[in-house]
Amino acid sequence: MSTVYDFTVKDMQGNDVSLSEYQGKVLLIVNTATGCGFTPHYDPLEAMYKEYKDSGFEILDFPCNQFANQAPGTEDEIHEFCTLKFGTEFPQFAKIDVNGENADPLFAYLATEKPFTGFGKGLKNAALKKFADMNNKAFGDKAYIKWNFTKFLVDREGKVIGRFEPTVDMKEVKDAVAEELAK
């Protein structure tokens, strides 16, 4: 059985990074965008990172421009935006595709381990689903991720144990991280 430690990704400079470097840590892997309505998630993500990083927690940030072109900048521009506007200190990687033929294998794996189950109830969530469905139609059965700021929780053994759509309250995400860190 695979774990996230079997994957290699690119850092912002294009260098290979084996996720085995994070072995033994609780991970939150996130696809992000700087121009999305969910971009304010960077604030609670950074707060969570600061609170838990010394307890064996890492957030791995993967910018993606596949959702209504909401991350059009270069890696440097995106990094500068995140550090200046939100003070992010967690690792940010090269911009990737999370859907389609060129989807990063890590995200195809994450989504296979924890498939999409919906955005939740309510008018706002229904509207996002409709918009996401239109956006992701081009990816067919390779529409692994439905929108920006989808978060995957990975335990210390590298197994995917949770998926949080961008509509999930960040308190719920934080509670799940804290629970996993306490094990």
**DSSP state string for 98-146:** -SSTT--HHHHHHHHHS------SSHHHHHHHHHHHHHHGGGGGG----
pLDDT tens digit sequence for 124-172: 888 889 989 999 998 988 999 999 999 999 999 999 999 999 999 999 9
Mean per-residue pLDDT for 7-29? 97
CB contact at 8 A, 65 and 147: no
Confidence of residue 174 (pLDDT cuts 50, 70, 90): very high
Confidence of residue 75 (pLDDT cuts 50, 70, 90): confident
Confidence of residue 1 (pLDDT cuts 50, 70, 90): low
pLDDT reported for residue 80:
87
Does the pLDDT at position 42 exceed 80? yes
pLDDT reported for residue 23:
97
Does the pLDDT at position 123 exceed 90? no
Structural domains in the chain, CATH included, are: 4-181 (3.40.30.10)
Q: What is the pTM of this model?
A: 0.95
Catalytic residue among 36, 71, 132, 177: 36
CB contact at 8 A, 107 and 98: yes
Q: Mean pLDDT across the chain, nearest whole number?
A: 94
36 as an active site residue: the answer is yes
Cα separation of 6 and 131, whole Å? 33
- Please report, as a single letter, which amino acid is at residue 20: S
Q: What percent of the chain has pLDDT over 70?
A: 99
